[in-house]
Structure 1
Amino acid sequence: MAKPFEKIFAEATTTPSPHGRGTVSICRRGGSNNNTGSILVVAINRPKARNALSDDTYEDLLEVLERAKNDPSIAAVVWTGAGSYFCSGADVKNKKFDLASFQEGDPVLLQPNGRFMMAMVSFPKLICAAVQGPTVGIAASALLQCDLVYFSQKAFFWAPFARLSLVPELTASATLIETMGLSKANEILLLGKRVDAKTALDWGICSQVITDCDLSSGDPFHPNSLASRMCQDIDKRLLSLTNGPATAQVFCTLVKGARRSRMHQVLLRELAVLDQRFRNGEVLEAAKQLVIGAQKKKKKEARAPRSRL
């Protein structure tokens, strides 16, 4: 039987604890300012699936964000991943790629992925990303909703929406252009350009590339993990200051509050088009063609003669 969320949350103040359906783990860090400025580290914990976002993962993330939003002792959330991947995007084995179930179900806005997007746009506190490895698809778009983003040297940013006949998700149709300009944004959105850590820094996707953090263990809660390094910076440079947690909340009210309404409208427009593309079969057809292409490539490689030394 799963533990009550309150118990898991309490245990996570000292050691990492699995949450909910087991797709994420959580732990608190910082809190040097009379425990009113804790940082909640949330790690997607599906390393065998490259931390792909299934419906269960979306639901777990939604529950954690809701609890963090309403807990006055938490000043910030740091999102990261277990293993080598930050997140490989939406789980293609998820039921949302089944056209029949999609036609019978709710619009995207009411599905777990749509509700997660809305929660990211609406989150009223600091939300940051420690991107220790590759980030793909919706996870890449989510970085543009984060207040701070750190990359490791092994991270890359890839939004291959066009390959699946998808649309820019989670406000990427606006935030990518605002971040790097129209031409570079379209290299990513239309041409599927994969952006390495150095380019991500140059283009404003992240603020730092940390080269000396621990990546070998795959443990997001390691004392020298990228997430831990980010927590140390946030705690030392902001939350441990006099009135630090209150200052963080003022920032969120002024900066994030000013753009929230506009981001909601962008997201709703994207979701309406995404819903249409799913229902008319474009996404399913593109997914099938990608699978067929991958199978043909695999067979061709298997038939190719091996070179002899």
Structure 2
Amino acid sequence: MIRYDVADAVATITLDRPDAMNSLTAELKTALLEALRKAAADSGVRAVLLTGSGRAFCAGQDLREHAANLEAGRGLADTVREHYNPIVQLITTMDKPVVAAVNGVAAGAGAALAFACDLRVASEKTRFALAFSGIGLAPDSGASWTLQRLVGLGRATELLLLGEPVSAERALELGLVTRVVPAADVVESARELAVRLAQGPTKAYAATKRALAYAAAHPLAESLALEADLQDACAATDDHVRATASFLAKEQPVFHGR
């Protein structure tokens, strides 16, 4: 259900239920969280690439499994708290860049997983569907948090209330994705981006992610204080010291992620 590969300091995590459009069962969600934890803990991994197999990135919650849970008197609360919340929390706080290769349909929680990533490369065939309200649900998987930070409160409200599909072109206009490429190139294009990040200053990227998340919910004075603390930490890294020397020598810096 999950394919996990590491090359060029990039961990590629592939949702692998193509016949079910990579919809999320409890088993798949558990495997995804384990794969993300593995990538986060591996010092040899400096960037993560998340994608899906077949024609979809992820169609969201597996509704067959969900219907069975409803019949058994179980709702979504357990899986939201046990699976979706820790998955999104880990993606957004991981001390490494996470790139999504959105190779097709991304719906519901599947779209939210893409939005939680730091950068998104979309296929021209990608369609995002914030389909929560269409089945009588509120957003989950961090969509209420990530979406308005990407497109603003007004657009996020529109997308979540109306639930209308968003094409790749429209997603690019709104700022939901970083770039749109031909379908045949989406994984390779996203991988090239992930490799580029994996060759960069990993600790500085981690500090940047932390600073952005903090500043989104804190006043300027507090954000400035955290920036100063993070800058002190980054200034002490081997990457910064070496990059400064390279700059003065008019050489291209080589980063080692430490």
Give 1 or 2: higher helix fraction. Answer: 2
1:259 aligns with 2:213: yes
Distance in 1 (CA, whole Å) between partners of 2:26 and 2:12 is: 20
Cα distance in 1 for residues equivalent to 2:73 and 2:214: 29
Structure 1 residue 189, shift from structure 2 partner: 0.2
Equivalent residue, structure 2, for 1:28: 6
Per the alignment, residue 46 of structure 1 pairs with: 17
Residue 239 of structure 1 pairs with residue 217 of structure 2: no
Provide TM-score, normalisation by structure 2: 0.75
Aligned residue identity for 2:147: L
* CA contact 1:95–1:101 (8 Å) conserved in 2: no
- Residues in 1 aligned to 2:134 and 2:189: alpha-carbon distance in whole angstroms: 35
Distance (whole Å) between structure 2 residues aligned to residue 117 and residue 70 of structure 1:
16
Deviation, structure 1 residue 115 = 3.3
Classify 1:69/1:189 alpha carbon distance in 2 versus 1 (closer, same or farther; 3 Å): same
Pairing 1:145-184 to 2, within 5 Å after superposition: 145-184=116-155
User: What code does the residue aligned with 1:117 have?
Assistant: V
Q: 1:75-224 counterparts in 2 under 5 A?
A: 75-95=46-66, 98-99=69-70, 101=72, 103=74, 107-108=78-79, 110-211=81-182, 213-214=183-184
SS in 1 for 2:61: coil
Distance 2:214 2:27 in 1: 26
| Equivalent in 242, 250, 253 of residue 204 of structure 2 | 250
Task: Work out the CA distance in 2 between the residues paired with 1:133 and 1:66.
Answer: 25
CA distance in 1, matches of 2:204, 2:155: 32
Q: In the aligned structure 1, how far is the partner of 2:75 from the partner of 2:144? A: 28
Structure 2 unmatched ranges of 5 or more: 218-258
Which letter maps to 2:179? Answer: Q
Partners of 2:124 and 2:168 within 8 A in 1: yes
Larger Rg: 1
What amino acid is the match of 2:208?
L
Instruction: Tell me: CA distance 1:106–1:166, structure 2 relative to 1, closer, same or farther (3 Å).
Output: closer
Please name the residue that 1:307 is paired with.
none
Question: Which 5+ residue runs of structure 1 have no aligned equivalent?
Answer: 1-22, 32-37, 215-224, 264-309
The 2-side partners of 1:190 and 1:107 are apart by 24
Q: Deviations over 1:79-127 (max 9, x none)?
A: 1111111111100112576236454997445433343333334333211
Displacement of 1:55 after TM fit? 0.6
1:109/1:172 Cα in 2 relative to 1: closer, same or farther (>3 Å)?
Answer: closer
Q: Deviations over 1:151-197 (max 9, x none)?
A: 11100111111112211212222322222223322221001121000
